[in-house]
Amino acid sequence: MSDLHDLTLLEQAAAVRDKSVSPVELVEHYLARIDKLSDTVGAFVTVTADSALEAARAAEQAVAAGVSDLPALHGVPTAIKDLNLVAGVITRFGTSAMPGIDLGIDDAVTTKLKAAGLISLGKTNTPEFGLPCYTEPDVAPPARTPWDLSRSAGGSSGGAAAAVAAGLVAAAQGSDGGGSIRIPASVCGLFGVKPSRGRVSNAPVSSEISGLAVNGPLARTVRDAAALLDAMSGPAVSDWQWAPPPTSTFLAACDTSPRRLRIGRFATPVIADAEVHPDCLAAYDAATAALADLGHELIDHTPTFTAALVPAFETIWSQEFLALPFDESIEANTRPLTRWIRERGRATTGAQTYAALATLRQAARTELEATHRFDAVLTPTLAQPPALVGELRNDDDPAADFEAQKRFTPFTAPYNMSGQPAVTVPLHWTDAALPIGVQLVGRPYGEATLLAIAAQLERALPWSARRPECW
């Protein structure tokens, strides 16, 4: 069974269906790898071996019984981020300031993944309340990119990315409120998708007032990510905003050949006065050349997003974390960055918060109008290669910590403001074998176009055969 983790998500699903591999074999294989590697890469904070094996035995019985309407990803292991609720499993939210909780309910995305036949092996590592773009919580080892264990797997879906990149699951769910899928996918050499606002339900707990955060997939291949996006997409009956249904499956979009597309591009940071590292520019230039070789038209674009929007974003960000539903008596036990951002929220009035949200909405309108002539927009995903563990974190000066994060990731948050879909594509590795992603941004609800472009790039410049040493 040493090569089961070499199979993609879709290959595992096919192997289960044709009975060449059983769900129990898959789960046992991955549990053994988790036991061996999870703490090394900081992937899992909770492993649910007993419930996973129980679900695997039930899945195996359904295959043996010849059930004809098995779900698409029947019997395949995955994992859930530890910010998302799973009935019967403690959610710790990346914090040691309070005990983990089990509300006895699933998040809608958890329910969707179960309905697709997936079996969760546990909860993946995340920073405290998902706040920073690195994953170094008190409740688990830091998440590290398997490509260089001295370097961070990013955040806040750092555990999910580390798990997929180290071969502990074939694909996993993450969430993204300012880059938290794209950042870890980039530094772990994965394909990650931030869907359009409303594509994946945030029910039943999230109020979605800001509209910044969405759930999405991380995977080694575009097709696996598309299949996982198919599994998790769609509204809950309680949703008050939702994306229109796609005209076909996202997996089918990967098999299309895009016509000649107009792709805008820029590499000037819009969130911080940051210097873009030569390796990130090399990845961006290589992606430009690859897209041109595929017949697409690349056009320089000057974004309307500017650093003037940062205070508005930070106002909303601080209010979101101030509104976290925990007893303020535990705040003294939270991380310095959490306390700092919540204190900023307390210093903000309701009128200032409303004005900030209006500013972000108007900025999104302006940029959407400016980019409507493009089928997609290309940028670097990050301004720097994978950061060393602890390099961005500064417990003594949380303001400096936050500024370092902005300089590291000045390209991702604008598209949480606008609600557009965005993907990161692992097209480049440095001479030191560090992965560098590039970002493609689509029109609203344009995930299918992004997946078609990314799949075309993957066929031209395949990356999934690359493996870190710990593989």
Active site residues: 81, 156, 180
Q: How far is CA 63 from CA 5, 70, 71, 75, 298, in A?
A: 21, 8, 11, 9, 48
Judge contact between 121 and 44, C-beta under 8 A: yes
Residue 289 phi, psi (nearest 5): -65, -40
Closest listed residue to residue 179, CA positions, set 414, 16, 392, 346: 414
Sequence-distant (6+) residues with CB within 8 A of 432 are 148
Closest listed residue to residue 76, CA positions, set 204, 233, 231, 185: 231
Could you give the CA distance from residue 167 to residue 266 in angstroms, rounded to a whole number? Answer: 33
Could you give the CA distance from residue 182 to residue 107 in angstroms, rounded to a whole number? Answer: 21
Could you give the CA distance from residue 107 to residue 208 in angstroms, rounded to a whole number? Answer: 14
Closest listed residue to residue 71, CA positions, set 115, 8, 22, 133: 115
Residue 152 phi, psi (nearest 5): -70, 150
Sequence-distant (6+) residues with CB within 8 A of 113 are 78, 80, 120, 173, 228, 231, 232
10 Å Cβ neighbour count for 365?
12
10 Å Cβ neighbour count for 37?
19
Sequence-distant (6+) residues with CB within 8 A of 179 are 133, 194, 409, 411, 412, 413, 416
Closest listed residue to residue 42, CA positions, set 147, 173, 137, 182: 137
State which amino acid sits at residue 106.
Answer: D
Judge contact between 337 and 361, C-beta under 8 A: no
Sequence-distant (6+) residues with CB within 8 A of 416 are 176, 177, 178, 179, 194, 212, 213, 214
Q: Backbone dihedral region of 186: left (phi > 0), alpha (psi from -120 to 50 degrees) or beta?
A: alpha
Could you give the CA distance from residue 318 to residue 321 in angstroms, rounded to a whole number? Answer: 5
